[in-house]
Chains A and B, each alone.
Chain A
Amino acid sequence: EVQLVESGGGLVQPGGSLRLSCEASGFILSRYNMNWVRQGPGEGLEWVSYISYNSASTYYVDSVKGRFTIHRDDAKNSLYLQMNNLRDEDTALYYCARAQYDSSGFSYIDKWGRGTLVTVSS
């Protein structure tokens, strides 16, 4: 069974840092592109970041560029999101999400973790 388990969330002051982790099981992580998606309190889904299966490509939503870094350690079956200079508006539930390729070669999210909550507040 595919499982994605996030950890590392918590309460942090504005300007602070956190590192989120996502432990994958039930599949070979190195074969998949991975994403982070967040959901603010009572809000919709916002895609945050992507990393390709071989780490060759990474993408970020504009609001986190220069502050967040996505990386992976396939030997540890883990995905990470380093978040620096956190702002109030980064408060959200952060989901780790696996992506599959469709027949046209585009990558869509097919599995989600349960999320880890990040609260940025003084």
Chain B
Amino acid sequence: DIQMTQSPSSLSASVGDRVTISCRASHDIRLSLAWYQQRPGKAPKLLVYTTSKLESGVPSRFTGSGSGTDYTLTISSLQPEDFATYYCQQYYDPPWTFGQGTNVES
């Protein structure tokens, strides 16, 4: 199975900050990486797929990058609605595994 290690598990930030979340796969997942945002009490929401493709309607302040085993989600200027938990997921090979999550808090 492919293990996904996400870091940090939590971070404190302020509105306007640049935020970076990392995700490392135990094997090369060949860009098959998605990022999800989950607000408290809500279902996850797709932000990015295929490492860097922005889902329709997602603000351009979200950027995904990476290759091989190392991937990154960047929020260029944190907005109040961005305080949430973020998960990476590899969909290269079943079982499709998630990272442990990163809680972005103020």
**Closest residue on chain A to residue B101 by CB atoms:** A44
Q: Contact: A108 with B32, CB < 8 Å?
A: yes
B43 CB contact (under 8 Å) in A47, A61, A104, A113 = A113
Assess whether B91 is interfacial by the CB under 8 Å rule: yes
Closest chain B residue, CB of each to CB of A4: B43
Stretch in B11-19, B61-69, B70-78, B92-100 with 4+ CB within 8 Å of A: B92-100
Q: A61 to B95, Cβ gap below 8 A?
A: yes
Q: Which of A45, A50, A62, A102 contacts B44 (CB 8 A)?
A: A45
Cα distance, A37 to B91, chains bound together (Å): 13
Main secondary structure of the interface of B (DSSP, over half): loop
**Nearest residue, chain A, Cβ from B95:** A61
Task: Kindly state whether residue A109 has any CB partner on chain B within 8 Å.
Answer: yes
Within 8 A of A (CB), among B35-54: 36, 38, 43-46, 49-50, 53
**A111–B89 Cα gap in the complex (Å)?**
14
| Option from A59, A104, A110 in Cβ contact (under 8 Å) with B55 | A110
| B101 close to A45 (CB less than 8 A) | yes
Task: Say which size band chain A's interface belongs to.
Answer: 20 to 34
Residue B83 lies at the interface, judged by CB distance under 8 Å to chain A: no
Q: A44-B100, A44-B101, A103-B50 are in contact. Are A59 and B44 (CB under 8 A)?
A: no
- The answer on a CB contact under 8 Å between B91 and A106 is yes
Q: Return A22 CB to nearest CB of chain B, in Å.
A: 12
Q: Are B45 and A107 in contact (CB under 8 A)?
A: no
Residues of A within 8 A of B31 (CB): 104
The 5 closest A-B pairs by CB, nearest first: A112-B43, A59-B94, A45-B98, A44-B101, A47-B96
List residues of chain B with CB under 8 Å of any chain A CB. 1, 30-32, 34, 36, 38, 43-46, 49-50, 53, 55, 87, 89, 91-92, 94-101
- A contact residues vs B (CB 8 Å cutoff): 35, 37, 44-47, 50, 59-62, 95, 100, 102-104, 106-115
Q: List 5 A-B contacts (CB under 8 A).
A: A45-B38, A61-B95, A108-B89, A110-B46, A114-B43
